[in-house]
């Protein structure tokens, strides 16, 4: 499985992504020059800053009173002053730099025009091996450049080969747009670029070394110069003082260890590690012959055809696995979690600082982790949550006078929890920690890892404890205040537009999940205390999800008109997905209202960003509407996917890739602690197919085959523990009990 092209990338958004969790690279595949843009996860400018507004607590009662009295403009104006962070913005994630190549014309070709067209040019990303390769035929010589980012050796390997001896000549150097101190030689085979990330920021260093077969290698100034070699391997790594005190020593040692292996050994180590994750899941929506036939056309040509309305089911199959590839590439155990752009960012001041936007985007990044059998890739998110707790406790106490911990709609490498920006529709949202902590429960129910739950439980309870103190009584319910439905605005009866109020629907839905999960965790861990009783009492006093005058799910605590009825956020459908609060089989009236909500959003231009469309696909999957889910997959490919398959907000954001990948899985299998539903949203156009290795709640893997849109077989294996659940297919139900390691194969008629 691959992405491939017949010309180099003309811009960053066309380059091909590589990653090993900690480092990322974008490969252009140019001919006479080459560029590899580089990233390292800890390249965050500046240091940790306490941004909590010291005037928040004194003004909170006044803000609440204004909101309760409907004086929204006055309340929001005061919120901007009293609740915003000081300073209002945290620091950005930055590009690491670039590796720049110039290829010399070998002596045998002097006199030939360097600009001459090449024949047989191919640029590709092999998803089976996580390798990018550029092949160039020119003047009777075939050159190849192969690049991969190894997780076992923590290096990027760039390998040059040719079918004729003494034909590889080039120079290479490292550059960074700004904020670096200098370049120096590393022994007689390498160079490094070093600097710092501003006041209180980390020190960093990039290191590049080379090994040649034949020809000559020199380090001259800031360049590594290779002349007339038969074969060349470059070794690159980078690090900061976030990870290690002596960055230069770490880099040199890491590359030295890698250089002890042959190129073939390095590649095998890399592929074995990668495939141990990638090969767990296989999806087939077309036959192998149909897939190979479709792959005869370059990926960019196919994407342009899709943009013009052509359907390409083989590309959907690739797109699903590309999403899994990206998660493996940017989120590994021991690394930082995926940012708004995964790990790939070319700018010093990127859009939204390429941070962790936690009012949907970071959560969406991890929707496919459990279902798509990449549970380990979820772990970096939990480490970030741990880092947020002490900061969030300080924010809770100083801003709101509450116990527990809280976070707003952004965080960063330091786990910042203060308010980000002066943005009325989004900044003053207090649900960030609460939503993130539901991921801890999700990881537990998929893995049944009791020790993980025991470790996570105090964090979940601290997130819940904040709301025990924060909620206020209004109209017989306990409500959040201030409260905002990200990132939308309403129109009050007096015509005034506002964003903040009391007890919006999404807040109630998130709290209903968090409190319920804390209570269940208490039962599992044998903890029955006063806080547990208080959570039960508070849970019972949350406002229910309600239906509005258009038959839609109400977004706010009152049935306001929407200022932007086609808004990209559909926050009030959190209860449909990722939650289980709205179900076709258990809450049909709410499910019908959710459908109306989606239809109204789409009729007014909704789904215009990639991640928003991805959420819509998941919503239709949860409504068991495979054809509408399929139509929206077609739309995300048509309108919101770049030719390298990156999601396009615009600009590039990775959440749409991950959200859509999760949606594919949800179309084929949905699981909860109550049941496992097979093919709940199978599109009519996915007539024949199979999927292997998806994970379901309770610690099991499931594989399905279908023919003419009918299930033909299902295989369930209890992988983590003893497993029991009800299997459902259409109107058929069967209780299945398995011992750990046991596998059961059923035909459709046996369910």
* Residue ranges in the chain whose pLDDT is less than 50: 110-111, 113-116
Residue 332: the pLDDT is 98
340 within 8 A of 361, measured Cβ to Cβ: yes
Of 476, 525, 481, the residue nearest 500 (C-alpha):
481
In 3-state terms the chain splits into helix, strand, coil percentages (rounded to 5) of 35, 25, 40
Q: Are 477 and 503 in contact (CB under 8 A)?
A: yes
Share of the chain above pLDDT 70, in %: 98
Residue-level pLDDT at 705: 97
Quote the tokens at residue 100: 């720049």
Q: Are 38 and 173 in contact (CB under 8 A)?
A: no
Closest by Cα among 348, 347, 308 to 652: 347
**Would the CATH topology of 2-44+95-279 be identical to that of 59-91+311-664?**
no
Q: How far apart are CA 732 and CA 718, in angstroms?
A: 21
Domain boundaries, the chain: 2-44+95-279, 59-91+311-664, 689-750
The whole-number pLDDT of residue 223 equals 96
Q: What is the CATH number of domain 59-91+311-664?
A: 1.50.10.10
What confidence score (pLDDT) does residue 629 get?
98
- Burial zone of 704 (CB within 10 Å; 0-12 exposed, 13-18 middle, 19+ buried): buried
CA distance 124 to 113: 26
The owner of tokens 């010093």 is: 348
Question: Of 697, 89, 186, whose CA–CA distance to 409 is shortest?
Answer: 89
Residue 223 to residues 191, 547, 672, Cα–Cα distance (Å): 7, 66, 57
Q: Given this structure, which CATH class describes domain 2-44+95-279?
A: mainly beta
**Chain segment 502-553, per-residue pLDDT in tens:** 999 999 999 999 999 999 999 999 999 999 999 999 999 999 999 999 999 9
User: What's the confidence (pLDDT) of residue 734?
Assistant: 96
């Amino acid at each position: 499985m691959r992405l491939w092209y017949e010309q180099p990338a003309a811009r960053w958004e066309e380059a091909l992504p590589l990653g090993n969790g900690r480092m990322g690279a974008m490969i252009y595949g140019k001919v006479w020059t080459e560029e590899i843009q580089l990233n390292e996860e800890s390249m965050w400018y500046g240091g940790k800053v306490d941004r909590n507004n010291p005037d928040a607590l004194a003004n909170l009662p006044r803000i609440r009173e204004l909101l309760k009295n409907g004086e929204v403009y006055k309340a929001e104006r005061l919120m901007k002053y009293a609740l915003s962070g000081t300073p209002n913005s945290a620091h950005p994630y930055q590009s690491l730099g670039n590796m720049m190549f110039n290829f010399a014309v070998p002596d045998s070709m002097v006199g030939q025009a360097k600009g001459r067209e090449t024949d047989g040019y191919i640029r590709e990303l092999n998803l089976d091996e996580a390798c990018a390769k550029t092949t160039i035929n020119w003047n009777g010589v075939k050159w190849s450049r192969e690049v991969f980012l190894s997780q076992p050796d923590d290096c990027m390997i760039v390998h040059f080969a040719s079918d004729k001896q003494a034909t590889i000549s080039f120079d290479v150097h490292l550059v960074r747009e700004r904020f670096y101190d200098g370049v120096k030689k590393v022994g007689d085979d390498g160079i490094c670029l070093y600097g710092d990330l501003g006041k209180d920021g980390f020190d960093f260093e990039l290191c590049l070394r080379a090994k040649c077969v034949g020809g000559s290698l020199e380090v001259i100034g800031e360049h590594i110069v290779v002349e007339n070699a038969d074969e060349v391997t470059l070794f690159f790594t980078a690090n900061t003082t976030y990870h290690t005190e002596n960055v230069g020593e770490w880099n040199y040692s890491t590359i030295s260890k890698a250089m002890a292996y042959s190129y073939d050994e390095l590649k095998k180590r890399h592929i074995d590690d990668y495939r141990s994750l990638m090969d767990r899941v296989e999806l087939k929506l077309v036959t192998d012959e149909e897939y190979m036939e479709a792959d005869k056309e370059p990926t960019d040509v196919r994407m342009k055809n899709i943009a013009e309305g052509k359907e390409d089911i083989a590309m959907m199959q690739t797109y699903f696995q590309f999403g899994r590839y990206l998660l493996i590439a940017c989120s590994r155990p021991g690394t930082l979690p995926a940012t708004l752009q995964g790990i790939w960012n070319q700018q010093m001041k990127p859009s939204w600082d390429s941070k962790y936007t936690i009012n949907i985007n970071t959560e969406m990044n991890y929707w496919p982790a459990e279902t798509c059998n990449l549970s380990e890739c979820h772990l970096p998110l939990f480490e970030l949550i741990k880092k947020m707790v002490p900061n969030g406790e300080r924010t809770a106490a100083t801003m709101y006078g509450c116990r527990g911990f809280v976070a707003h709609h952004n965080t960063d490498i330091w786990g910042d929890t203060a308010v980000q920006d002066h943005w009325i529709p989004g900044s003053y949202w207090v649900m960030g920690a609460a939503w993130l902590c539901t991921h801890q429960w999700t990881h537990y129910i998929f893995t049944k890892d009791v020790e993980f739950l025991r470790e996570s439980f105090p964090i979940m309870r601290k997130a819940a404890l904040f709301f025990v103190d924060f909620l206020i009584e209004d109209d017989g319910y306990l409500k959040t205040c201030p409260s905002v439905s990200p990132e939308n605005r309403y129109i009050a009866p007096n015509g005034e537009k506002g964003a903040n109020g009391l007890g919006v629907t999404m807040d109630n839905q998130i709290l209903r999940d968090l409190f319920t999960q804390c209570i269940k965790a208490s039962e599992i861990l044998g903890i029955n205390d006063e806080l547990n009783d208080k959570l039960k009492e508070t849970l019972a006093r949350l406002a229910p999800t309600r239906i509005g005058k258009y038959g839609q799910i109400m977004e706010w605590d009152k049935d306001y008109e929407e200022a932007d009825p086609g808004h990209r956020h559909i926050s009030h459908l959190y209860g449909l997905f990722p939650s289980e609060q709205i179900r076709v089989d258990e809450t049909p009236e709410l499910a019908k209202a959710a459908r109306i909500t989606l239809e109204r959003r789409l009729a007014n231009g909704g789904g215009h960003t990639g991640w928003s469309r991805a959420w819509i696909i998941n919503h239709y999957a949860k409504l068991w509407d495979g054809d509408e889910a399929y139509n929206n997959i077609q739309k995300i490919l048509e309108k919101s996917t770049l030719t390298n398959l990156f999601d396009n907000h615009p600009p590039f954001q990775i959440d749409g890739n991950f959200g859509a990948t999760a949606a594919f899985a949800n179309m084929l299998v949905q699981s909860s602690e109550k049941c496992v539903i097979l093919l709940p949203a199978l599109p009519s156009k996915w007539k024949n197919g199979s999927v292997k290795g998806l994970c379901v709640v309770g610690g099991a893997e499931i594989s399905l085959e279908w023919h003419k849109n009918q299930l033909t077989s299902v295989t369930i294996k209890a992988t983590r523990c003893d497993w029991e659940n009800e299997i459902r297919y259409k109107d058929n139900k069967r209780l299945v009990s398995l011992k750990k390691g046991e596998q059961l194969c059923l035909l459709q008629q046996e369910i």
